[in-house]
Amino acid sequence: MPENPLVTVCNINLRKMGSSTIPVLLVTANVGSVFEDPADLPKIWTEEFLSTVARLDPKFIALHCQEVGGKNYELSMKHVENFVQLLMSSNELRLFDKIRVFLDEDYSSTENFTALGNLYFIHETLENILIWDFKESHFLPVQGKEIHSGNIEAVVTKEKAKFPQDFFPECKWSRKGFMRTRWSLNGTIVDMVNIHLFHDASNIVAMESYPSVYCKTRRKALQYTLQRFHNDHYDNAPYFLFGDFNFRTDTDGVVKKLTDGLNTTRIQNNKNNEYTKLQFTNDESKLVLTVGKKEFNHSEHQTVFLEPTSEWESA
């Protein structure tokens, strides 16, 4: 996979009492970095994904993507169609004759845009497959292939929402939110929920407390989503909630562990006198760690993070 694809794969079997099992593959992937190199990375990414499909041989695939179109979505959203076609035209998915794709691509709609993509592939051997109509509150038969892209607000077979603005008052309007679909798979009803929670906008701010303000916002958004599902007018159903949770460790605790015994220097911004970086040096004035808003640079990264000592592992 490309660098930092944030891919998680779960291979399970669904079974209703008295019926045969359905092999289900659940995949979540933040694909933002994939569109930074549209000439090469989509092909590499899809090849890895499809090799997983071939190895596990599922009959129902749910692929939940975040940051569809990448971080510079105004420029790279045009490459999403090719990404989807690479999947749909593949040999590995040739026997998946029922497909539903939901791509929230309308970045001009700031109040609705989430950049989420829910893609579902159903094998030809599965026949009794239904998808929920959230407007009319009943199931619809799934036949053929449908791609819903661009502005998908009117599509009734998905529920989508962006988190309220007051969840992140100090930030510009975010793309974070969720998109849900409901399925009946041979009589087993289940919800598939794609969620994208808030990231840490600044390492400096994240160090100020634990749980950090960002962690509290993520928890608030997750609770909001779960309570919404519990209290809406639809019947409750089991659900799989998978996406980009933007989980972070205790930033303050990690920094304290890494900098024990080191000297701290605060680098200030000349415009507003706020410090923008922290630099940690040893007694020989060697720079060991630099922490900035978007920077976390350790002089011995390989040793500290990729080859941890037993002392670090027990911390």
Per domain, the residue ranges of the chain are 7-244, 251-313
Neighbours of 129 (CB within 10 A): 21
The counts of H helices and E strands in the chain are 8, 16
Q: Span 7-244: which CATH code?
A: 3.60.10
Side-chain half-sphere exposure of 70, counting CA atoms within 13 A: 18
Beta-bridge partners for 130: 141, 184
Calculate ∠ Cα 96-100-105, nearest 5°: 135
Give the helix/strand (H/E) hosting 204.
helix 203-206
d(CA 110, CA 130): 32
**What pLDDT is stored for residue 1 in this prediction?**
36
**What pLDDT is stored for residue 191 in this prediction?**
98
d(CA 2, CA 45): 7
Q: Residue 142's Cα: distance from chain center in Å?
A: 26
d(CA 280, CA 259): 7
Residue-wise pLDDT tens for the chain (315 aa)? 333 344 566 766 776 545 678 999 999 999 999 988 989 999 999 999 999 999 999 999 999 999 999 888 888 898 999 999 999 999 999 999 999 999 999 999 988 999 999 999 999 999 999 999 999 999 999 999 999 999 999 999 999 999 988 776 566 667 899 999 999 999 999 999 999 999 888 899 899 888 998 999 999 999 999 999 999 999 999 999 999 999 888 898 999 999 999 999 988 876 666 668 999 999 999 999 999 998 999 998 888 887 755 555 554
Rounded alpha-carbon distances, angstroms, from residue 234 to 50, 97, 187: 35, 29, 17
118: three-class secondary structure by DSSP: strand
Sign of CA dihedral 77, 83, 85, 87: negative
